[in-house]
Structure 1
């Protein structure tokens, strides 16, 4: 169950209360008149089943509460109540399949912002991967993949496209491109600096690297893995499975490919630069396509489930009527 907290202008409390009372999947409605001070109004509290929350939030936004009051939705860690259990049973669909699109949009919007922290994480990840490439060290490669923040803007593009919000998709895509461009440029400079210090050399890049050669040699399996990672990433976001998202982050060679491209650029190695760039484009494209299609499929499936549940409820009501 989720906990819903609303600050509502007093003149609209009756209308909002009516919406909450007739919504399937709600329980424990409480109204505290005059409790809100900034903005002034009434405080409304209730619990709502996860699978019913997205539709309810849309109704509350349509009433102008996001503009004139506030709507806060958060996880209820524990709810011991028969009413709560009944509300979950009555809500259409399954909690594990429910998607809170408004919450997802807010999350991906925040993670798609070009900030100093975002660029610092991206550059640090690519630099770690560059060390892994030069040392042929798989541990450093995996560590860099876990540090990289690129899945934030990637998921932002997919989420925006699934809801057809082109402006938000363009914003996230811009953050993704900017992050990789800045990280590759700084890693190229860092590579030259480490070469001047005697820590890197062209021979380290040109030598045989059995462990990390995959980062600049794209193949058909690269696209397959990217597509699978896009599906897993979308599912992990919509179901709030952060552990699965970490697994996605270390399964696709986006950051290592960018690092290899930066090192190859620094040493003027054309074949590796082209191979790394192609690997990066293939992986990013695969994740975007698969993630977007997965979210669209989830949206359509949820809408179909809700229509079926409503039809069944209407049929049961008709049968039980006079």
Structure 2
């Protein structure tokens, strides 16, 4: 529920009150003097005594105050705009409860779905997303701390520590600010969100690189450690369909959280899950001077950030948020022409095209290779001579983004009887995958022995 306070010129007061009464809204009117101080108040929404309770006419301005359901804010403001009321002074306050003659009926209209679905106004969504952004000192400090925790979690191969870093990461506000700016076509919001996001990622990458280099130099981490074999790191060195899905879901959930009364803080963990570990992996690749790890993680990071921003913006559009300069009566052609005339549109399109041409192409290639390689492995395991084997998993590492010829590394895990061995299986799988994908690969087979006893 929201409590609105609107400053209205006295000459427009009757029109405003009539408009509010048509919507079953119960206003209270306060007179203000030239200095803006309240001097007396009165008001009612009852049709029988409206004239008696309304303040006396005269020069000056009146403060109109009334409670409405959250979903009704935009409708009421549009109605007041239609009668020529300019919102020179508007305050929207979150209220807990209201007891007015018609409020229960008004709530029923919106709660039963006879009016707009639950959503907050454009002004509120701007305020809400800005409140998610902490002060610069707090933002960068929390980014450094979360990057330290993420780096430690990746190096220790500890999922618990990686999740812990997501909880304290502050990136959600910056990413969703860019989404709101995109949906509402507000350049200042979009630029603010992109700048904060990029600055935070740079800080996180540098912090991870410094910590990783320090740990390696001081030998807190074994110098012989091969970071490419650490599962928490290797899983974040290449884009994939599931990682992109996480980013899209996180951005969409953020959009729903912003547009409704749902809490956004929990969504921040999902956003951080798509961003922070990848940024830490970039820093680790820099600290260990392994370009393939740093570049692969950077590609994943770019795909995820772009996915979050665009998914958040698309969700807000789906919920009905549009640029304020768009007229409801304007044709689709006029709206498209207006949109193409805005610089923000080309910045967003640039981000999308960059992602599609660079990381996006690599992502598509990786997904296609995964499908083809998995099909080839299944065909071999299900073929003659391997009836006693059971396929458990196929893991594919896009380890160096095409730098070397043997750029694909495929690890196949199978279950076998304890009394059987298959020394040539890796070679058979390698040839099958090469024939299916026309790519040179390195295949590693991991056997898990199993013993069955049947009566």
Q: Provide the TM-score with structure 1 as the length reference.
A: 0.79
Q: Unpaired segments of 5 or more residues in structure 1?
A: 302-306, 308-322
Give the Cα separation in 1 of the matches to 2:114 and 2:237. 44
Name the residue aligned to 1:177: 198
Distance 1:16 1:226, change over 3 A: farther
Name the residue aligned to 1:319: none
Shift of 1:149: 1.5
- Write the mapping of 1:255-266 to structure 2, written as runs, cut at 5 A: 255-266=276-287
- Write the mapping of 1:40-51 to structure 2, written as runs, cut at 5 A: 42-51=62-71
2:231 aligned counterpart, secondary structure:
coil
Higher helix share: 1
Verify the 8 A CA contact 1:162 1:292 in the aligned structure 2.
yes
Q: Which one of the candidate residues 203, 214, 223 is aligned to 1:193?
A: 214
Give the Cα separation in 2 of the matches to 1:192 and 1:230. 32
Give the Cα separation in 2 of the matches to 1:63 and 1:22. 11
Deviation digits for residues 12-71 of structure 1 (CA, Å, limit 9, x no counterpart): 1452563254146563311122379556764432111222202434546974443xxx32
Moved more, 173-182 or 206-215: 206-215
How many residues align structurally? 296
Distance 1:178 1:136, change over 3 A: same
Deviation digits for residues 150-185 of structure 1 (CA, Å, limit 9, x no counterpart): 111111111111111133212211111111112212
Q: Unpaired segments of 5 or more residues in structure 2?
A: 39-60, 323-327, 329-455
Give the Cα separation in 2 of the matches to 1:215 and 1:172. 24
Shift of 1:95: 6.8
Shift of 1:261: 0.7
Q: Which has the larger radius of gyration?
A: 2
Give the Cα separation in 2 of the matches to 1:17 and 1:139. 62
1:3 aligned counterpart, secondary structure:
strand
Deviation digits for residues 124-171 of structure 1 (CA, Å, limit 9, x no counterpart): 211110111111111111111121121111111111111111332122
Give the Cα separation in 1 of the matches to 2:101 and 2:260. 25
Cα RMSD, aligned residues only: 3.1
Higher RCO (Cα < 8 Å, 6 or more apart) = 1
Distance 1:33 1:177, change over 3 A: same
Q: Provide the TM-score with structure 2 as the length reference.
A: 0.58
Shift of 1:197: 3.5
